[in-house]
Structure 1
Amino acid sequence: MSAPAAPSLATSRLVGVASGLRAAPSDPARVLPVRDELADLFPWGGLRRGTTIAVRGSTALLLALLAEATANGSWAAVVGVPDLGVLAAAETGVVTDRLALIPDPGAQPSSVIAALLDGLDLVAVAPGRLADAHARRLSARARHRGAVLLPLGPWPGVDLELRCDRSTWTGLGLGHGHLRQREVVVHTRGRGSAARPGRATLLLPGPTGTVRPAPFEPPTELRPRLRDRAG
């Protein structure tokens, strides 16, 4: 079933209630919190209202970004990701009572996304059929409304891009066992205050399902010397 047209969605109970509960919607400089393990990826220490932050290569990273904000009262939506389930979001720490999933935004996705930006704090989007002109207008809408727009893929004129480049699962033995954790390397680049590139190595998910910092391992060439000192 297709999503309703933008006027109906804009007056729906979900968007109306979220708009009424959102704290300080007129303060676009406010920063929404992220988990401590992710804070160093952002020059603002979190998700700054009015920005467009692209997440590439990991839906798990997107959910990790939503977790702390929803736990602190923010409302979020994920648009155009039909294989994303509530259970996966909950395991990552997202408060699902404050999460709306719109698997198919219908024939006018930009209108649906614009309506969500008017009422919610964070809106994640699979770019899909959106033209660059529509994408830029949605970024302007987020900036005007003080929302955070989170495209899951390439997006023109983003303020910050987070990209997962490497992924290594651990936990399986010799053909048996369970995947317990995944180590990823996240690179950042952006513009303005976010122009300086950044990098972090994380467990996403960690052993408990949420994000954790990866344990430090010295470069291969240093390990013999460190073992000699320990002996």
Structure 2
Amino acid sequence: MTVTTLPVARNAEERLANIQELRQRVHRMQGTATSHPLPTLPVLDGLVRLRTGASYAVDRPGLAMALMAGPSGAGSWSAVVGVSDFGLEAAAGFGVDLDRTVLVPEPGDAWLEVAAALIDVLQVVVVRPPARVTQHQAARLSSRLRQRDALLISVGDWPHAESRLWIEESTWTGIGRGHGRVTGHRARVAALLHTGQRRDAEIWLPADDLRLRTADQVDQVVEQEPGRLSRVG
């Protein structure tokens, strides 16, 4: 049996962090059903708030990166299953810690088993199901998410998701007539909560400085520095 130990704490802040990590490990080993908020990027505050024990559905990998970036940047380990076009450079730009990210790009027919196994040990699991997810499959992972204090992000529909997010409109910057380099992606993102409530927001995924920002934040920059961003349809 291999036992992983924590480094010796140098100060009170490190000791507190170590205690919290030990508590999380105990919860995972005991399979205690818990649910608590996880860090969510400020740019997504008006759309969704992440919590453990829940599942979220998005329509493309970029939104999955934005969702996982909050927990990942705060120290959570993540996994990405079945998303062969997952862009590492883009994910890092969103704030995903690649050193704490496990990639399984081609799980094949074993995607459900792989996702379940990773939920046992990691806090955030992103998965792209190769086919329609059945109620039974969703229920199987839902129970595991609650027991292991983890959350799931599906690139594609997921039964009984806490929230569903999709991009309704997109505008790109930096592209000329058939040439140029994409420098920004402005999107109208919609979110449908499990309660039936709908929310919308204009977000840059990312802006020309490669950071995630709300449209209001970028518009303020444009007002101060006219011509910095050129909007191209």
For 2:161, which of 158, 163, 166 is the aligned residue?
A: 158
For 1:59, which of 58, 61, 72 is the aligned residue?
A: 61
Alpha-carbon offset, residue 131 of structure 1: 4.1
* Post-superposition CA distance 1:32-67 (Å, at most 9, x none): 11111112212xxx31010111111x3111111112
Alignment of 1:177-196 (within 5 A): 177-192=180-195, 195-196=196-197
Counterpart contact for 1:22–1:74, Cα < 8 Å: no
- SS where residue 68 of structure 2 aligns? helix
For 2:114, which of 103, 112, 115 is the aligned residue?
A: 112
Name the residue aligned to 1:3.
none
Segment drifting more, 47-56 vs 123-132: 123-132
* Post-superposition CA distance 1:4-59 (Å, at most 9, x none): xxxxxxx999xxxxxx95863457332111111112212xxx31010111111x31
Alpha-carbon offset, residue 85 of structure 1: 3.6
Counterpart contact for 2:111–2:129, Cα < 8 Å: no
* Post-superposition CA distance 1:161-192 (Å, at most 9, x none): 11111111112234443211111111111224
Quote the Cα distance in structure 2 between the aligned partners of 1:102 and 1:68. Answer: 21
Alignment pair present for 1:40 and 2:46? yes
Name the residue aligned to 1:145.
148
Segment drifting more, 208-217 vs 166-175: 208-217
Alpha-carbon offset, residue 210 of structure 1: 2.6
Name the residue aligned to 1:204.
205
For 1:68, which of 67, 70, 76 is the aligned residue?
A: 70
Once superposed, what is the RMSD of the aligned Cα atoms?
2.6
Relative to structure 1, is the Cα distance of residues 115 and 164 closer, same or farther in structure 2, using a 3 angstrom cutoff?
A: same
Quote the Cα distance in structure 1 between the aligned partners of 2:87 and 2:215. Answer: 26
Please list every run of at least 4 consecutive aligned residues from structure 1 whose deviation after the TM superposition is greater than 4 angstroms.
Answer: 20-23
Aligned length: 196
Alignment pair present for 1:30 and 2:46? no
Relative to structure 1, is the Cα distance of residues 180 and 12 closer, same or farther in structure 2, using a 3 angstrom cutoff?
A: farther
Relative to structure 1, is the Cα distance of residues 176 and 85 closer, same or farther in structure 2, using a 3 angstrom cutoff?
A: closer
Quote the Cα distance in structure 2 between the aligned partners of 1:156 and 1:27. Answer: 20
Counterpart contact for 1:109–1:130, Cα < 8 Å: no
* Post-superposition CA distance 1:104-145 (Å, at most 9, x none): 124322111111111111101101146402123112221232
Counterpart contact for 2:190–2:199, Cα < 8 Å: yes
- Unaligned stretches of 5+ residues in structure 2: 4-19, 220-233
Percent of aligned positions with the same letter in both sequences? Answer: 36
TM-score, L = length of structure 1:
0.76
- SS where residue 127 of structure 1 aligns? coil
- Unaligned stretches of 5+ residues in structure 1: 1-10, 14-19, 218-231
Counterpart contact for 1:163–1:187, Cα < 8 Å: yes
Relative to structure 1, is the Cα distance of residues 153 and 73 closer, same or farther in structure 2, using a 3 angstrom cutoff?
A: same
Q: Which amino acid aligns with 1:70?
A: S
TM-score, L = length of structure 2:
0.75
Quote the Cα distance in structure 1 between the aligned partners of 2:23 and 2:63. Answer: 25
Alignment pair present for 1:83 and 2:89? no
